[in-house]
Chains A and B, each alone.
Chain A
C-alpha cells in the first residue's frame, strides 16, 4: 500500500518530535461498517507513530472492544485518544479526535502529541485554579474541518 506521508513530511515530523520529553500513547478506535475514513485514519496514525520510539499505539474496534471504548468515553469512529504513558501506566488527559485528522487538523494532531509529551497544558494559573475546583465533568467538543 502506498504511504500517506511522503519523505519530506516524515522529515518535518521527525524534527518536530525531536524535543519530545515523555512517552505518548495513542489509542485508535475503528469500526467495520459505515466508516468512510477509518482505513485512512488508521494508516495515518500508524505512519505517525512509526516516526518516534516515544510513541506507542493500540488499535481497537468500537464494537468488539466496547469495554475499552466505554472506559475511555469514545463513541465515534474513527476515534483517537492521545494519552501519556509512564512505564506501563496510561495517563488519560481527556484528549480525543473524532474523524480523520488531515489537512490543518494533521498539524493539530502533531501539536497535541507534543503537548502531551511535554505534560504541560500551557494554561494560565487562573484557568488551572478554576479547573481544579470542578465538581462536574466538562465535555468540550471542538468542531473543525480539515481544510
Chain B
C-alpha cells in the first residue's frame, strides 16, 4: 500500500521542477497532494499523511 521512492533530483529534473524541489530532502506525497520539506521527525510525516487523507 505504501511505496517510497528515493529520486535523485538532478537525474530527474523534469520531476523535480514539477514539484518545485528547491532543497533536499523534499518529499512529495501522492503526486503533489502533500509535501514535506527537510528531514523531519516521523511524527511530522505522519501528520502530513493524515492531513492529505483527511483524517
Contact = CB atoms under 8 A, between A and B. Distances in A.
A101 B5 CA distance: 12
A137 B11 CA distance: 25
Nearest to A134: B1
A4 to B, nearest CB: 16
B46 to A, nearest CB: 5
B7 A143 contact: yes
Contacts of A124: 42-43
A98 B12 contact: yes
A126 B49 CA distance: 13
A142 B1 CA distance: 17
A25 interface: no
Contacts of B26: 142-143
Contacts of A64: none
A95 B1 CA distance: 11
A123 interface: yes
A136 to B, nearest CB: 8
Given A98-B11, A142-B26, 17 more contacts: A94-B4, A96-B5, A97-B8, A98-B6, A99-B11, A100-B8, A131-B1, A134-B1, A136-B1, A137-B1, A137-B2, A138-B49, A139-B5, A142-B6, A143-B7, A144-B24, A145-B9
Interface of B: 1-12, 15-16, 19, 21, 24-31, 42-43, 46, 49-50, 53, 55
16 contacts: A37-B8, A96-B3, A98-B5, A98-B7, A99-B10, A124-B42, A134-B53, A137-B1, A138-B30, A139-B31, A141-B29, A142-B6, A142-B27, A143-B7, A143-B9, A145-B24
Interface of A: 36-37, 73, 76, 94-101, 105, 108, 123-124, 126-127, 130-131, 134, 136-146
